Amino acid sequence: MAADEARITPALRGKLPPVLTREAARLSEILPHLVVEARNVAAQLQLGIHGRRRPGPGEEFWEFRPFVAGESTSRIDWRRSARDDRLYVREREWESASAHWIWMDLSASMHFSSRLSGHPKRDRAILIGLALADILVHAGERVGLPGRTTPLASRNIIMRLAEALVRHDPAHPDPLAMDGLPDVLPVKRHDHLILIGDFIMPPTEFAEKLARIAHRGVRGTVVLVRDPVEEDFPFAGEVEFEGLEAPETWRVGEALEVARAYRERIATVNDELRRLTLQQGFAFVKHLTHRPAAETLLSLAALIGGQPLAAHSTLGAAP
């Protein structure tokens, strides 16, 4: 693993824009490791999705095959044919009309990690997104990052998407921000949009934004990412909490006294997010960062593979 990591690090760093924000620099540091981990996880889980890989109209190279008498000579690849004593045709890979789009929340709240996990929510969202992209592409699908890439069927999809993440110019507004999802995404009717994040916002705001996406005829899956501390509230004594997305603090005199009310509240919020997601016909999966990413990827493979998403939406009900 160390050798692979050393090999891909220069490739990623070489793609960085000349002016970087602190966040872009941090992202470029952790992405090589996540690329390796995503490849390993995806390699173990190449199953569950009924692919459609075959030659046909598209942009990605598929294979060379012998020229058949009666075909147009314009299809002959003369460079490949010059290396042999027969003529060859360059086949391109068939592309379906629909595509899968993966949105990964990179906002400040996603930087949180606890001792129970050790993995920031952002890192786990990226890992799940990259590994899922690899599984989908190997099953014959096209995958893109909305606002950053077109739908791709590249066999090197993990690296392509990782490079797109660090190439983004932080000096300009991020088109992947939740506020922009309904208006700027190049997602078409019947495409599949996978949203991976913590969705820390009022449920009414979440419902409005999700409804605007669903109104476009888009299929969707919501992956709710939580740190175990955010669910369990394992604190005691006097505790002061600091906001990650706003300069605010919350001081608790005795954490044990509010623990039960907090757990009930977060469970209610999670249930409401799930209800609102299913209400739009989208699938819902919850991932806790102290659990293996492979568990969530298996659920996603079952949701996406071969049957309507809504029919499997209850798979994500359990933590």
Provide the pLDDT confidence category of residue 14 given band limits of 50, 70 and 90: very low
CA–CA separation, 228 vs 310, rounded Å?
Answer: 27
Task: Output the average pLDDT for the chain.
Answer: 77
Query: CA-to-CA distance for 224 and 213, rounded, in angstroms?
Result: 17
Q: How far apart are CA 292 and CA 168, in angstroms?
A: 29
What residues does 143 pair with on adjacent strands?
A: 100, 152
pLDDT digits (tens, 9 = 90+) for 88-140: 887 765 555 578 999 999 888 898 899 888 889 999 999 999 999 999 988 88
Q: Tell me the residue type at 173.
A: P
Q: What's the confidence (pLDDT) of residue 133?
A: 94
- Tell me what pLDDT residue 313 has: 36
The predicted-structure confidence for 176-220, as pLDDT tens digits, reads as follows 444 444 444 678 888 999 999 999 888 999 999 899 889 888 899
Tokens of 266: 């977060």
The span from the CA of 12 to the CA of 155, in Å, is 17
Bridge partner residues of 88 (DSSP): 66
**Average confidence (pLDDT) over 166-184:** 51
Say if residues 190 and 97 touch (Cβ distance below 8 Å).
yes
pTM of the model: 0.72
Structure tokens at 70: 């009666």
Angstrom distances, CA of residue 273 to CA of 33, 188, 198, 225, 277: 31, 24, 10, 12, 6
